[in-house]
């Protein structure tokens, strides 16, 4: 039976925590669950509705938790199940929902399921993963590639077959098309929901099913570098991925997940969809009320932040979404930090204020990545300090994801920026970034004009604006510099306009409007509206009520 759902997630703000790098409570150099619990007040004070925890489950950590060896337990480096229960209890006391990362496209090769599956061709779990015979010349069954480099097929001497891995060879693909595997996965969904979590973030969910005929992908040639899903230097980007992801069978699996999640009051799902057709896929995966509640893609995770590009992304979703729902993300643990991607070596403070104003005024939910509220730039990590297998394999053209995963800077006075919770702690798993010291949370807490305070004010103000929380969105005509749209709800029209350039700009008010009431309490700035025109300083933001 379907449970009641308050739809809190529709206008919700989700704060992503990367547990290894948030707060170390025991001095072992790795962030943990008790550390997160200690810092939940920071997120509640920010004004977020929920936290999303990247994987903290048992894992050999070949891909830092995205290779799970036990879906139902906490890795000892992060704490215990009791620690997790205390985290949920504290979060709920602070008014925060808790969402956990779930990885259903693959597991670790150390998961008992795979250990049994690879043991023989006739054991009870022989078909729990994707196995295939070699071609007559001994080569893999097709041309599918791994995102992390090389073939997506790994030879196994026990079964004398290849197994599929879209990511590392130590991350074999689960055979979700097997109903028994699907039921086992759904049992893990039920486990965490029964523990009180409020939602699931589904990792790489468009990778969870494959073409049963194992047809080879057609080539697409060298990419132009505008797609954020993979590095241009990665041959993975040279294929049209028709058969190794985005399969229709994935939608059937999502319907089964949704049917289960809908039995729990207020529970929700958000899916990561990594594909060149990002917004089309988000629409497809969230329409109809029977699959994902929300989806996010990588369209806003590129270096591009010009008005034409941003407008095209929003327009595409608005045209295709129907009753689908987006979760807008400008940053996460897999891409360079927002301040550096959009702002370069010396990002403008005005640009860093524009980014959340834009993100939080779109129709949908929003996901903030830890440290974006401080304006943290991408950290420089020396090759000898790299931990990310993706970066190590693709160096030096692609430096991997460690630069956005360095420890959170809590205390500007501490040598480790306050990452460790005890004296005499071990060296953090990634070096702290000295470029983050001046931006540490303690300094911004004490500065009324800081970016942190801007985020807090913006999130509080947004809750008071029904048009932003619940309204429709109508894009205004394309402008060289300004992205503009009107949010409408219950007779109120709110103009949202952003000068996405470092030059001054002007914009005609919509519909021949002569007067617009600028909402100065939004905390936005650098724009005025009078005489039928809006005028913007570089990176100026305007929120104005249209009469």
Q: Please state whether 418 falls in left (phi above 0), alpha (psi between -120 and 50) or beta.
A: left
The dihedrals phi and psi of 472, each to the nearest 5 degrees, come to -75, 170
- How many residues does this entry show for the chain? 547
Catalytic residue list: 203, 272
Element (H, E) at 182: helix 179-194
Q: Tokens 């693959």 map to which residue?
A: 106
Which residues make Cβ contacts (< 8 Å) with residue 517, sequence separation at least 6? 544, 545, 547
Would you say 490 and 466 are in contact if contact means Cβ atoms under 8 Å apart? yes
With vertex at residue 489, the alpha carbon angle to CA 510 and CA 466, rounded to the nearest 5 degrees, is 115
Q: HEC states along 325-392?
A: CEEEECCCCCCCCHHHHHHCCCCCHHHHHHHHHHHHHCCCEEEEECCHHHCCCCCCCCHHHCCCHHHH
Distance CA 16, CA 335 (A): 13
Tokens of 88: 């949920």
Residue 383's contacts (CB-CB under 8 Å, 6 or more residues apart) are 392, 395, 396
Q: How far is CA 159 from CA 126, 176, 180, 347, 498, in A?
A: 10, 20, 21, 54, 58
Q: Which residues are CB-neighbours of 256 under 8 A, at least 6 positions away?
A: 182, 186
C-alpha distances (whole Å) from 222 to each of 217, 219, 297 are: 15, 9, 22
**3-class SS shares of the chain: helix, strand, coil, % to 5:** 30, 20, 50
| Rg of the chain over all Cα atoms, to the nearest angstrom | 23
Residues 131-146, buried b or exposed e (16+ Cβ, 10 A)? beeeeeeeebbbbbbb
């Amino acid at each position: 039976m379907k449970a009641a759902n308050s739809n809190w997630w529709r206008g919700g703000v989700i704060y992503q925590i990367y547990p290894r790098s948030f707060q170390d409570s025991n001095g072992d150099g790795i962030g943990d669950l008790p550390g997160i619990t200690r810092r939940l007040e920071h997120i509640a004070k920010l004004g977020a509705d929920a936290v999303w925890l990247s994987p903290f489950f048992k894992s050999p950590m070949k891909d830092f938790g995205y290779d799970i060896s036990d879906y139902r337990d906490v890795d000892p480096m992060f704490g215990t199940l009791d620690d997790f229960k205390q985290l949920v209890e504290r979060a709920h006391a602070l008014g925060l929902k808790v969402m956990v990362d779930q990885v259903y496209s693959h597991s670790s090769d150390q998961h008992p399921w795979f250990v049994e599956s690879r043991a023989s061709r006739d054991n009870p779990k022989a078909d729990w993963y994707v196995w295939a015979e070699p071609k007559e010349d001994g080569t893999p069954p097709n041309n599918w590639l791994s995102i992390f480099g090389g073939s997506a097929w790994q030879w196994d001497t026990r079964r004398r077959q290849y197994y599929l891995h879209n990511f590392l060879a130590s991350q074999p693909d689960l055979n979700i098309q097997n109903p028994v595997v699907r039921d086992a996965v759904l049992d893990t969904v039920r486990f965490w929901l029964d523990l009180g979590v409020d939602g699931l973030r589904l990792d790489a969910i468009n990778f969870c099913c494959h073409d049963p005929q194992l047809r080879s992908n057609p080539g697409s040639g060298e990419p132009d570098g505008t797609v954020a899903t993979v590095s241009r230097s990665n041959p993975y980007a040279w294929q049209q991925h028709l058969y190794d992801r985005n399969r229709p069978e994935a939608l059937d699996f999502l319907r089964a997940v949704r049917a289960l999640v809908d039995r729990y009051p207020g529970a929700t799902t958000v899916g990561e969809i990594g594909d060149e057709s990002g917004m089309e896929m988000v629409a497809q995966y969230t329409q109809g009320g029977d699959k994902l509640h929300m989806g996010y893609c990588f369209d806003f995770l590129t270096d591009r932040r010009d008005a034409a590009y941003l407008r095209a992304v929003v327009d595409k979703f608005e045209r295709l979404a129907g009753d689908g729902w987006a979760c807008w993300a400008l940053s996460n643990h897999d891409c360079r930090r927002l301040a550096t991607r959009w702002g370069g070596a010396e990002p403008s403070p005005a640009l860093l204020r524009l980014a959340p104003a834009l993100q939080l005024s779109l129709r949908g939910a929003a996901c903030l990545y830890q440290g974006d509220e401080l304006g943290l730039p991408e950290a420089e990590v020396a090759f000898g300090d790299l931990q990310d297998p993706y970066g190590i394999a693709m160096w030096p053209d692609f430096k991997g994801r460690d630069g956005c995963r360095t420890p959170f800077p809590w205390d500007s006075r501490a040598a480790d920026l306050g990452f460790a919770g005890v004296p005499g702690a071990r060296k953090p798993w990634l070096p702290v970034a000295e470029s983050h010291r001046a931006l540490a949370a303690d300094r911004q807490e004490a500065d009324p004009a800081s970016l942190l305070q801007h985020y807090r004010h913006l999130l509080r103000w947004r809750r008071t604006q029904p048009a932003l929380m619940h309204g429709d969105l109508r894009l205004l005509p394309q402008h060289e510099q300004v992205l503009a749209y009107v949010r409408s709800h219950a007779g109120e029209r709110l103009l949202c306009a952003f000068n996405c350039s470092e030059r001054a700009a002007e914009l005609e008010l919509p519909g021949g409007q002569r007067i617009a009431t600028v909402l100065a309490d939004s905390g936005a700035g650098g724009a005025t509206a009078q005489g039928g025109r809006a005028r913007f300083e570089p990176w100026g933001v305007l929120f104005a009520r249209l009469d």
